[in-house]
Every structure is written in C-alpha cells, then in structure tokens.
Amino acid sequence: MAQLILKPGKERSLFRRHPWIFAGSVERLDGRARPGDTVTVLAADGKALARAGWAPESQIRARVWSFDPEAAIDHAFFKRAVAASVARRAAIPALRGQEGVRLIHGESDGLPGVIADRYGDVVVLQLTSAGADKWREAIVAGLVQATGCAAVYERSDSEVRRLEGLAPHTGCAHGELPSGGLSIVENGVRMEVDVVGGHKTGFYLDQRDNRLLTGRLAAGRDVLNCFCYTGGFSLQALAGGAKSVLSIDSSGPALEGARRNLALNPQLDPSLADWHEADVFKALRNLKDEGQRFDLVVLDPPKFAPSAAHAERAARAYTDINLFGFRLLNPGGILMTYSCSGGIGLELFQKIVAGAARDAGVDARVLYRLSAAPDHPVGLAVPEGEYLKGLACQIG
C-alpha cells in the first residue's frame, strides 16, 4: 500500500478528525496509487495516522476512510459502514414512517463522497469522490443488504466528479426502476420523484422539516413561494390551510411537475394555487410595483455561492431577494429565507438578511433558525457540511 507523507504540522487537522487532506498538505506519495486506491497517511515524523482514498486530480488529495491506520479497507468495511449509517436513521423517531429518507450523508457518516437517498423501495446513490467510485460494488451491495430495496439507481452525474477526474456514471446498479414512475408521501402530501433527471437525487429531502413548518405557518395566510421547483413548499402550505399560494420558478418543466404533484393530491384545492413561470428577481420587482402583499413569503433559491470565492457576488443576490421579500410582506408577515450555498456561512447569511430588513425599513425578529432535516447530520469535525441554513423572520 502506498504511503502519503504529510508536510510538517499538517497532521493537526487529522488529530481533530477532519477527513480531508488538501494538496498543499502533501509532501509526497511513496509508492504507486491509482485514483481511488487506499493509501496510508503518515505524519512528517513517520507516524501512521489514517487510511484514506487517493484522488490525484483533486485539490482534496485524499479523504479519510478510517483514523485507524491499521484498518482493513475492504468490502466488509463498506458493508459495515453502510449498515451503521442506515441503522442510525432507523433510530431517529422523526424519520419513522417517512418514505423519503437520506441514508448516507457523506463525511458526516464516515463515508466521504457517498450520498444515498431512499424513496420507497428505490435507493438513489451518488458517488462524488475517487475513493467512493472505487468501492461502488461494495457500497451497492451494502445498501441492498441493509435496506432490502428492490432497486439501486446511480446518479453520479454532479459537477463535483469532474474535479476528481471522474466521468459521469448513471443507471441501475441493482434491480430496475418501477415502470409507472416513482412518488412518495411526505407528511401527508404525495410528490413525484424523478430519480433519472430531477435535481440532486430526484428530490430535496433536506427541506422536509422546513416544508412541514411552512404548512403550519400558512394557515389562513396568502403565501408567495419563490424558486418553487416542483412545489414542495407550495403543497405543504395548501395542506396547512393557506388562503392562497402564488408559486414562481423560471423553469417551465419544473412547474409542470408542480402541477402534476398538485393533481396527485385531490385533498388540496387547485383553485387556491397559481403557478407563474418567470425570472424570480424580475417577478419580485413586478409584484412590488403592482402593490401586492403576502402574509408568508418563502425564498429557497439555488446555490448562489458554491465556494467562498463567490461569496461577495452571492451576497448581493441574497440581499436583493430578501429586500423584496420583506417589502412584499403585510404587517405581521413572515419571511422564510434560505441559503444552500457552502460559501455563505450562517453568521454572514444572518447579516445579509438583517441588512435587507434595514433597507426595507422594517423591524424584524427571528422566530426560527432553520437547517436540514436530521437525516442530513453535520459532523462536528466537518463544519463545512452545514450547507443549508435558513431564518423565519416576522416583521411588525
């Protein structure tokens, strides 16, 4: 097994149990290793520290599989790790009965580069690191064994793979997808899941609890949902008793999906829902100019800042949408605003929202701090994993 030798002082992050080893921390690689191969990580003084997956084309040169430098990284290792991750979800009361659950959340579950989401009897797998890609067969076998699922569909097509020198890889890794399409019931609302062409693995499971909260806050309110995608927040608002829901997205196909989702729920009144295809920034300005007002505004935009290098530009975009969000609220109204940008931390995001409230001339207070559902845990040693953050702010 090849040995990855760190530069002096670069072992400190491993002592904190952070699993990433960046290119600038590497002194040399002794021996030969292909992308994804397991290497033993050594401090500059020769002390063995960990076993990791090697990624020579990535700025993250290696990701730690185990902080035990003697651990055997083999099929049995991955089957145990997958089973443990699935068992942790089963022990969370809030997840019991949910048809859509994240089973593996990368570094937070000790499996860097591995994402697995379960939708009913189908598990969707995403492998984003060279090490994870190397152990595809063992990970798939572990998922089948731990869940008894009928199918595992791989969606390893994210842009992150290019940074690892990996080509996209999609298709059924086990079994077959149901011929009639796939849907799940989430907190009483049925939603389509497009595991082949939808965003992420087919659905945004991380917002499950926040969608439920939206429904509880929507009772008797006029609701505006921006960047609505396939209508998750919108349908929960209707289920919660919203007076009306206006949903805006720039994607026509996404809105068609939202309409289909509404049709899947005959208990919801379609006359209370209005779907609008438009650029959200322009639409918010138009709504303000028209004098429209809402009691609850949801802002769940796409990732404006994938890294800290994009933070300044992203901050302007977040300021703009939150400024108009506040201006469109009736007195006593609530703004539920989110950022999924890894380059925007919670402290900066709150400053941005506070600045938008100031510029809108409103007094606002935080009712709830919002984050991903508990099947998307954040490892204490890997704070970078806390990508989703949100605030529910009431004005007046």
Contacts by residues 70-77 (CB-CB < 8 Å, ≥ 24 positions apart): 73/38, 74/138, 75/135, 75/137, 75/138, 75/141, 77/138
pLDDT per residue as tens digits for the range 55-107: 999 999 999 999 999 999 999 999 999 999 999 999 999 999 999 999 999 99
Q: What spatial distance separates the first Cα and last Cα of the chain, rounded to whole Å? A: 64
Determine the pLDDT at residue 379. 96
CATH number of the structural domain spanning residue 9: 2.30.130.10
CA angle, 264 then 270 then 271, to 5°? 175
Q: Are 235 and 270 found together in one domain? A: yes
Q: Kindly tell me if the per-residue pLDDT of 308 is higher than 80.
A: no
Determine the pLDDT at residue 306. 65
pLDDT per residue as tens digits for the range 353-378: 999 999 999 999 999 999 999 999 99
Distance CA 52, CA 63 (A): 5
Specify the number of domains making up the chain: 3
Share of the chain above pLDDT 90, in %: 93
* Position 198 in a domain: no
Determine the pLDDT at residue 151. 98
> In which domain, by residue range, is 317 found?
204-395
Q: Are 285 and 388 found together in one domain? A: yes
Determine the pLDDT at residue 305. 61
Residue 62: closest CA among 123, 1, 138: 1
Specify the length of the chain in residues: 396
* Position 199 in a domain: no
Distance CA 106, CA 115 (A): 6
Q: Are 273 and 361 found together in one domain? A: yes
Determine the pLDDT at residue 314. 82
**Which residues make Cβ contacts (< 8 Å) with residue 148, sequence separation at least 6?**
none
Q: Point out the domain boundary residue: 44, 66, 88.
A: 66
* Position 28 in a domain: yes
Q: Are 163 and 256 found together in one domain? A: no
* Position 42 in a domain: yes
Q: Tell me if 339 sits within 8 A of 389, measured CB to CB.
A: yes
Q: Global pTM?
A: 0.95
Determine the pLDDT at residue 295. 98
Which positions are catalytic?
340
Q: Are 341 and 229 found together in one domain? A: yes
Distance CA 253, CA 232 (A): 15
pLDDT per residue as tens digits for the range 15-59: 999 999 999 999 999 999 999 999 999 999 999 999 999 999 999
Q: Are 317 and 225 found together in one domain? A: yes
Q: Measuring CA to CA, how many Å separate 320 from each of 31, 51, 85, 301, 376? A: 53, 46, 40, 12, 29
Q: Are 62 and 20 found together in one domain? A: yes
Q: Are 242 and 377 found together in one domain? A: yes
Q: Are 221 and 259 found together in one domain? A: yes
Share of the chain above pLDDT 70, in %: 98
The pLDDT of 373-393, averaged and rounded, is 95
Distance CA 262, CA 120 (A): 20
Determine the pLDDT at residue 307. 65
Q: Are 354 and 280 found together in one domain? A: yes
* Position 128 in a domain: yes
The token pair that represents 393 in the structure block: 């702010």
304 pLDDT band, cuts 50/70/90, is confident
* Position 391 in a domain: yes
- The residues that bridge with 395 in the sheet, in sequence order, are 364
Q: Kindly tell me if the per-residue pLDDT of 309 is higher than 80.
A: no
Q: Tell me the pLDDT of the chain averaged across its residues.
A: 96
Determine the pLDDT at residue 313. 78
Q: Kindly tell me if the per-residue pLDDT of 120 is higher than 90.
A: yes
pLDDT per residue as tens digits for the range 163-200: 999 999 999 999 999 998 999 999 999 999 999 999 99
Q: Are 365 and 388 found together in one domain? A: yes
The pLDDT of 294-303, averaged and rounded, is 95
HEC profile of the chain? CCEEEECCCCCHHHHCCCCEEEHHHEEEEECCCCCCCEEEEECCCCCEEEEEEECCCCCEEEEEEECCCCCCCCHHHHHHHHHHHHHHHHCCHHHCCCCEEEEEEHHHHCCCCEEEEEECCEEEEEECCHHHHHCHHHHHHHHHHHHCCCEEEEEECCCHHHHCCCCCEEEEEECCCCCCCCEEEECCEEEECCCCCCCCCCCCHHHHHHHHHHHHHCCCCEEEEECCCCCHHHHHHHHCCCCEEEEEECCHHHHHHHHHHHHCCCCCCHHHEEEEECCHHHHHHHHHHCCCCEEEEEECCCCCCCCHHHHHHHHHHHHHHHHHHHHCEEEEEEEEEEECCCCCCHHHHHHHHHHHHHHHCCCEEEEEEEECCCCCCCCCCCHHHCCCEEEEEEEC
Q: Are 314 and 342 found together in one domain? A: yes
